[in-house]
């Protein structure tokens, strides 16, 4: 059974940083693409960042480029999202997801999802 478990969310002041983690189990982690998405209240789930199996290719949403960094540690079956210079508009539930076909910006391409972790940025 595939499981993705996010952690690291919380309350932070604008301009601060958080590091999200997502631990996977039940699969051969190193062969899959991974992504982070977020959903604010009343809004659709939006793409944030994605990374290919090796970590050599990454995609970012324009809204987070230069502030967020996605990375992975295949030996630990974990993907990370380092979030710096946080803004109030980054407030959302953040989800990690796994894509059997590789790297993608589109939620429809992802096969497994975590339960989400809340990030709240106070201004």
pLDDT of residue 28: 83
Determine contact, residues 50/57, Cβ cutoff 8 Å: no
Report the 10 Å Cβ neighbour count for 66: 9
Buried-state track 47-65, b at ≥16 Cβ within 10 A, e below 16:
bbbbbbbeeeeebbbeebe
What is the pLDDT at residue 29? Answer: 84
Helix (H) / strand (E) element for 79: namely: strand 78-83
Helix (H) or strand (E) holding 37: strand 33-39
* Per-residue confidence (pLDDT) for residue 65, from 0 to 100: 98
Q: How far apart are CA 123 and CA 121, in angstroms?
A: 7
Residue-level pLDDT, tens digit, the chain, 123 residues: 999 999 999 999 999 999 999 999 998 888 999 999 999 999 999 999 999 999 999 999 999 999 999 999 999 999 999 999 999 999 999 999 999 999 999 999 999 999 999 999 998
């Amino acid at each position: 059974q595939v499981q993705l478990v996010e952690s690291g969310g919380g309350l932070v002041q604008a301009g601060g940083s958080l590091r999200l983690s997502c631990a996977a189990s039940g699969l051969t982690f190193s062969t899959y693409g991974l992504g982070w998405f977020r959903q604010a209240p009343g809004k659709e789930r939006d793409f944030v960042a994605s990374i290919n199996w090796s970590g050599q290719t990454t995609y970012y949403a324009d809204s987070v480029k230069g502030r967020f960094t996605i990375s992975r540690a295949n030996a630990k079956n974990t993907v990370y999202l380092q979030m710096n210079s946080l803004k109030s508009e980054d407030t959302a539930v953040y989800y990690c997801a796994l894509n059997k076909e590789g790297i993608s910006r589109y939620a429809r391409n992802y096969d497994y999802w975590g339960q989400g972790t809340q990030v709240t940025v106070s201004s």
